[in-house]
Amino acid sequence: ANEENEMVENVAVSPATGMDVAFTNAEGIYTMNLPTEENYVITPEKDDDLLNGVSTYDLVLMSRHILEIELLDSPYKIIAADVNNSGDKPTTFDIVELRKVILFINDEFPDNTSWRFIDADYVFPNPANPFEQVFPESYPINGLTGDMADLDFVAVKIGDVNGSAQTNGFASDAEGRDFTGRLDLNVEDIQLSEGESRFVEVKAGDFQNIMGYQFTMTFEGVEVLDVIPGVLPSMAIDNFGLQHLPQGMLTCSWNSVEALSLSPETVLFTLELKAKRDLLVSDALRISSQLTAAEAYAEELGNIGLKEVHFVFRNGDQVLNEDSFELYQNRPNPFKDETIIAFDLPQKGEAALTVYDLSGRILTKVSKTFDKGYNEVSIQKADLSGAGVFYYELSTPQHTAIRKMTLIE
39 and 121 share one domain? yes
Residue 3, domain member (yes or no): yes
| β-pair partners for 214 | 253, 295
Separation of alpha carbons 225 and 197, rounded Å: 8
Please tell me whether residues 163 and 185 are part of one structural domain. Answer: no
39 assigned to some structural domain: yes
Q: How far apart are alpha carbons 396 and 409 in whole angstroms?
A: 32
Q: Is residue 174 part of a domain?
A: no
* The last residue of a domain, from among 147, 169, 191: 169
User: What is the mean pLDDT, run by run of 10 residues, along the chain of 409 residues?
Assistant: 89 88 89 89 92 95 95 96 94 96 94 95 95 94 86 94 84 54 92 96 94 94 96 94 95 95 95 95 89 91 86 77 73 86 87 91 93 86 91 89 89
Are 292 and 208 found together in one domain?
yes
In Å, how far are 35, 87, 169, 313, 325 from 38, measured between CA atoms? 6, 32, 35, 69, 62
Residues belonging to the chain: 409
C-alpha count within 13 angstroms, C-beta hemisphere, residue 342: 15
- pLDDT value at position 172? 45
pLDDT at 51: 92
Are residues 220 and 101 part of one domain?
no
C-alpha R_g of the chain: 24
- The domain spanning residue 348 has which CATH number? 2.60.40.1930
pLDDT at 170: 58
Residues contacting residue 360 through CB under 8 Å, at least 6 positions apart: none
Among 112, 140, 169, residue at a domain's last position: 169
- Measured between alpha carbons, how far is 147 from 201 in angstroms, rounded to an integer? 66
- Beta carbons of 203 and 267 less than 8 angstroms apart: yes
Cα distance between residue 320 and residue 9, in whole Å: 47
Residues 372 and 281 reside in one and the same domain: no
**Distance between CA atoms of 3 and 75, rounded to whole angstroms?**
10
Residues 43 and 142 in one domain: yes
The tally of domains found in the chain comes to 3
Q: In terms of domains, do 149 and 199 share one?
A: no
Q: Could you tell me if 277 and 223 are in contact, meaning their C-beta atoms sit under 8 angstroms apart?
A: no
| In a domain? residue 355 | yes
Question: Partners of 344 in the beta sheet?
Answer: 326, 374
How many CB atoms are located within 10 Å of the residue 101 CB? 23
For helices 56-66 and 92-102, what crossing angle results, to 10°? 180
- Is the same domain home to 260 and 156? no
Q: Which of 116, 136, 169 is the last residue of a domain?
A: 169
CATH number at residue 279: 2.60.40.680
Report the largest interatomic distance among the alpha carbons of the chain, rounded to a whole angstrom. 80
Domain-located, residue 240: yes
**Residue 82 in domain:** yes
Tens-place pLDDT, residues 89-145 = 999 999 999 999 999 999 999 899 999 999 999 999 999 999 999 999 999 999 988
Buried b / exposed e along 23-50 (16+ C-beta atoms within 10 A): ebebebebebeeeeeeebebbbbbeeeb
CB 179 within 8 A of CB 309: no
Residues 105 and 194 in one domain: no
Same domain, 125 and 88: yes
Confirm whether 277 is domain-assigned: yes
Q: In terms of Cα–Cα distance, which of 309, 314, 369, 374 is closest to 346?
A: 374
Query: Do 264 and 364 lie in a common domain?
Result: no
- 57 and 35 share one domain: yes
- 350-403 pLDDT, tens digit per residue, is 999 999 988 888 999 999 999 877 788 999 999 998 889 999 999 998 888 888
Give me the domain span that covers residue 337. Answer: 326-407
CA distance 115 to 137: 11
